Amino acid sequence: MDFILDIAAFLLQAIILLGVFLIAFAGVMAISQRRRGAGEEGSVEACSLNERFELQQEAIRSVAEDPVALKAREKDRKKEKKQKHKAAKQALKSQDGNEPARPRVFVLDFDGDMQASQVEQLREEVSAILPVASDADEVLLRLESGGGAVHGYGLAASQLVRLKDAGIKLTVSVDKVAASGGYMMACVADQIIAAPFAILGSIGVVAQIPNFHKLLKKNDIDFEMHTAGEYKRTLTFFGENTDKAREKFQSDIDDIHVLFKEFVATNRPVLAIDEVSTGEYWFGQRALEKNLADRLCTSDGFLLEHLEGSDLIEVRFRAKRNWQERLGMAAETAVERGFRRLLKSEQDQRYL
């Protein structure tokens, strides 16, 4: 009887795993179909960070301050707010409504993965900002990325170039990491700020390809590949790689590295590009000494510096996704995290 129950439990687990796999696969296919479309459905949302900071401060004061002093402060705050509103209204009239009463800081977020998949959201956000921003405004991009696919991060950097071409000041904030493709994006900025232990640099190119040819040969399995064009395929997963193919593959990587260096040097001429393009990375203070960053500051510190004199507006594009796509994205994220864990043993990481 126990044996039958064990078999039933095993079959139930197998059915559940199969169901989860099929649902995840359906989600991934749904995402793939959407990405082949003309664009993502969704909307751009904006919210005032000034109000958010103000509410946070009031929450603390309501507990920390004396009730009488708090009441007097609230009265003064309302009076000050009314005066500011009146002054802004008068300033707007005097400028015929052509310019905002106060400069604005538009705040964007980019949390990069291997494929730079958030570039679609970045594109929509930049397109929403460009028609309303003036040369008195600024964009703060809170960037976190360890890099990934060349074409994906190249497109992401190009979206930031659109802001520069429009004459809008761009600041990139690195609280944790902007390496490789992440730094390709960061170097476009007028100003790069970094936290003291943020990672910057890794201006280099890496490619890793497993080859199973010896395993197939050992098991008498033939593999055929037919191409037209001498270099249509160089290194392969299953075929026998030749020295000529390796040489061509290395040549392609070297060329990408040259293009990467030229892009960084053009956008950030203060760098000694040959010194910092070795593939190494540096932490905040050392990155500052290498001119990879302009000053040490967190994104929160930057926002607090501009809180009094600017309108802080967080802009975010939210795509509409059905449950299959959300599940597929979760599956993709899980697979990517697993892949990153496998690579950890080959990376020189530092832990405290």
Distance CA 300, CA 247 (A): 47
What is the Cα–Cα distance from 234 to 225, expressed in whole angstroms?
11
What is the residue whose two structure tokens read 């028609």? 131
Q: What is the DSSP letter of 9?
A: H
Active-site annotation holder among 117, 145, 173, 180: 180
Is 263:157 a contact under the CB 8 Å cutoff? yes
Length of the chain equals 352
Residue 93, both tokens: 């009239």
What would the two tokens of residue 296 be?
A: 């040490």
Closest by Cα among 134, 132, 131, 108 to 121: 108
DSSP per-residue string spanning 129-153: HTTT--TT-EEEEEEEE----HHHH
251 is catalytic: no
d(CA 167, CA 272): 26
Listed residue (218, 235, 208) closest to 339, CA to CA:
208
- Asked if residues 120 and 319 have their Cβ atoms less than 8 Å apart, the reply is yes
- Across 33-44, b (16+ Cβ under 10 Å) vs e yields ebeeeeebeeee
DSSP secondary structure code for residue 27 in this structure = H
Tell me which DSSP letter residue 231 carries: T
DSSP 32: H
Q: Do residues 299 and 93 touch, judged by C-beta distance below 8 A? A: no
Q: How far apart are CA 341 and CA 345, in angstroms?
A: 8
180 catalytic, yes or no?
A: yes
| Catalytic site positions | 180, 232
